[in-house]
Amino acid sequence: ILFSQANLLPLSLVSNSQRPKLSYGYTKMNISRGGYRVFSANSTTACTELAKKITERLGVELGKSVVYQESNSETRVDVKESVRGQDIFIIQTIPRDVNTAIMELLVMAYALKTSCAKNIIGVIPYFPYSKQCKMRKRGSIVCKLLAAMLAKAGLTHIITMDLHQKEIQGFFSFPVDNLRASPFLIQYIQEEIPDYRNAIIVAKSPSAAKRAQSYAERLRLGLAVMHGEANHSESDMADGRQSPPLSRVTTGHTGLELPLMMAKEKPPITVVGDVGGRIAIIIDDIIDDVEDFVAAAEILKERGAYKIYIMATHGLLSADGPRLIEESAIDEVVVTNTVPHEVQKLQCPKIKTVDVSMILAEAIRRIHNGESMAYLFRNIAVDD
């Protein structure tokens, strides 16, 4: 039988008021559900804008932290408040310096992990290196490497938006919620494009046809597909596979003779579908190098389209993209705020922004409360 040290009576006979209290005045462990905090993995104004919009919708304050680069370019993160036992959401928008942004995310996740955070959820609307998700030439699948690095740093969940390829979700060893921007872009088409009923949805290439078809079916519009390229794509560039082998002394079997494959030749750009006298709306997930979009707009203009819009989720708009758009036949480029692009908007008034902070904030709330995410995917097609 166990006895209390106060009066050597069995503990079952000691009243609650007589039982010795635990340290700091607690009589039992705190078993209530922990809170949550939202941090930004970047301290620059452009990158914290989306984080502030999300926290305003959630009704919470942005977590106190400092992220900066030391004089030797090393990344340092200082978390200024306790995160023990809480769900932590790290919002990281990817500016032009992609590799620095990745290090900021990794270092902050590891800092929170070692500070005993309960769960660490990364909110990464644009997932970097998502284009490098397939083996090409003698390269590597960098996207899978990044997924492994994030897991090792301590992330337990990721919220992202419109992955370049949906199969990227299989690279992760933890849950991934791949949200869609299509409801916001479709709403923009219906509300901001006059006479959108006279529009036609255009896929810039056959690989983008499924996404464009999904938009066309929900808007009850026609579909056109562009085929061919003005220049050879990266996959057709010389990669050394035809280089002569090193001189070796071979004995015995000389090897098999494989059938000679005909070289692939890209035809000039053609449009499958009638765009004459219509508004052409090009649908894609990323607009980065705009040369292909500018060339597509010129072809559509030649085919009789009188207005040309480009709708994309992630507006990277690298290099001199804003200038090329301003000088092209494109009437408007509509992107979401998954990537900071305020500087590009100053250079090109044709660039418009759609806010997606609402769905990101709702995803954070539902994940913390353990609610179903199905509501965020209602009426969302697989091909979006």
Residues 102 and 145 in one domain: yes
- Tokens 């032009």 locate to 96
Q: Is 165 part of any domain?
A: yes
Residue 74: exposure state from Cβ atoms within 10 A (0-12, 13-18, ≥19): exposed
**313: closest CA among 182, 222, 147?**
182
Cα separation of 114 and 365, whole Å? Answer: 24
pLDDT at 266: 73
Single out the residue in 162, 179, 196 at which a domain terminates: 179
Residues 152 and 91 in one domain: yes
Residues 200 and 174 in one domain: no
Amino acid at 180: R
Residues 200 and 333 in one domain: yes
Q: Is 12 part of any domain?
A: no
Phi, psi of 174 (to 5 degrees): -135, 170
CATH code (residue 342):
3.40.50.2020
pLDDT at 32: 34
pLDDT at 43: 80
pLDDT at 155: 97
Report pTM.
0.83
| Binned average pLDDT, 10 residues per bin, the chain of 384 residues | 48 47 37 73 87 94 93 93 95 90 96 95 96 88 95 97 92 95 95 95 93 94 88 50 57 71 78 94 94 94 96 93 95 96 93 96 95 89 77
Q: Is 373 part of any domain?
A: no
Residues 201 and 343 in one domain: yes
**284: closest CA among 347, 330, 245, 235?**
330
Whole-number Cα distances in Å, 276 to 199, 273, 304: 10, 9, 4
* β-bridge mates for residue 158, sequence order: 122, 176
Residues 87 and 211 in one domain: no
* β-bridge mates for residue 307, sequence order: 279
Cα separation of 155 and 124, whole Å? Answer: 12
For the packed helices 182-192 and 209-219, what is the interaxial angle rounded to 10 degrees?
50
Residues 321 and 224 in one domain: yes
Residue 164 lies in domain: 37-179
Q: Is 237 part of any domain?
A: no
Residues 188 and 91 in one domain: no
Residues 56 and 93 in one domain: yes
Cα separation of 317 and 345, whole Å? Answer: 10
Residues 217 and 345 in one domain: yes
pLDDT at 154: 96
Task: Count structural domains, the chain.
Answer: 2
pLDDT at 248: 61
Q: Is 235 part of any domain?
A: no
Residues 142 and 283 in one domain: no
Residues 136 and 200 in one domain: no
pLDDT at 228: 81
**Is 215 in contact with 181 (CB distance < 8 Å)?**
no
pLDDT at 251: 60
Amino acid at 56: E
